[in-house]
Amino acid sequence: MPAPRLLAVSDLHVRYPENRAIVEGLRPTSDGDWLIVAGDVAERVDDVIGTLTLLRSRFATVIWVPGNHELWTRPKEGVPLRGEERYLHLVQACRDAGVLTPEDPFPIWTGDGGPAVVAPLFLLYDYSFLPDGTTTSAEGLEVAYDAGVVCTDEHLLSPDPYPDRAAWCAARVAYSRARLDACDPSLPTVLINHWPLTRLPTRVLRYPEFALWCGTTATADWHVRYRATAVVYGHLHIPRETWEDGVRFVEVSLGYPREWRARGRPDPLLRTVLPDQ
Ligand SMILES: [Fe+2]
Ligand SMILES: [Fe+2]
């Protein structure tokens, strides 16, 4: 049996039967493989937890961070929880399923490529990835609305009890900084967040205004500050690797069937984070 690996995937979007079939086929190659699931599993709580429970039955450790889709409140789901309450409900359901979340102690990967602190984060976005030519979030949003580029989060992702999503993001950034500051400074980290930690990956978006919903400039130096050996993210549905300051950034999404049918499924779908190849 091959040596255990730290693997990652995101944006499984199992609402689509084709994606659900792909997830049902996901298996480790070693009994010791860990799997990072970097958000956008599904919109419904039962789909999210059902999928993570299945993966947990196969992988030695499963680590989840929320994407925007998990945080949507839709009347037809029958789960009336909004914003932070919905997030904490998902966290508790993950714990019940034996799945690690951004609210749990960070595990240490001690397999090949380790030791490294594996840090799941939930940071959201704060409209600071501004469209070119704009200087404030308000101005940026105006340009986006004028262009007809508006993320569905504006209607479905409640910031309760925070006044807005930017305020929730600021709270998450402060919380996550404190957690990362408390990590053993002699160990490298693997930073995991649904949204990219830096602006660079958004430069290839087809609709550049969409970057407003893709991250925060508050984390621009975290890959250096927190000794990242790799940064794992999704959300963009553009699977690829980029390098900044010598650090590997890996977008690990599957994406919607219409997207992966057009360009071919990521191969392999489960990206190896550690050991670094
Ligand atoms: Fe997604
Ligand atoms: Fe997303």
252 Cα–ligand 2 center, Å: 12
10 Cα–ligand 1 center, Å: 8
Ligand at shortest distance from the CA of 214: 2
Alpha-carbon distance of 103 to 101, in angstroms, equals: 5
255 Cα–ligand 2 center, Å: 9
39 Cα–ligand 2 center, Å: 7
**φ, ψ at 31 (rounded to 5°):** -60, -20
Ligand at shortest distance from the CA of 195: 2
Over the chain (277 residues), the average pLDDT of each successive run of 10 is 96 98 98 98 98 98 98 94 98 98 98 98 98 98 98 98 98 98 98 98 97 98 98 98 98 98 93 94
Judged on CB neighbours under 10 Å (0-12, 13-18, 19+), 27 is exposed
185 Cα–ligand 2 center, Å: 31
Nearest to 276 by CA among 245, 235, 246: 246
Ligand at shortest distance from the CA of 71: 2
State the pLDDT at residue 277. Answer: 79
State the pLDDT at residue 1. Answer: 83
254 Cα–ligand 1 center, Å: 8
Please give the structure tokens belonging to residue 252. Answer: 């690990």
Alpha-carbon distance of 263 to 38, in angstroms, equals: 21
Please give the structure tokens belonging to residue 173. Answer: 């950034």
**φ, ψ at 169 (rounded to 5°):** -60, -45
236 Cα–ligand 1 center, Å: 7
Q: What protein residues have CB closer than 5 angstroms to ion ligand 1?
A: 11, 40
250 Cα–ligand 1 center, Å: 15
Please confirm whether the linkage preceding 75 is cis (ω < 30° from 0): no
Alpha-carbon distance of 43 to 50, in angstroms, equals: 12
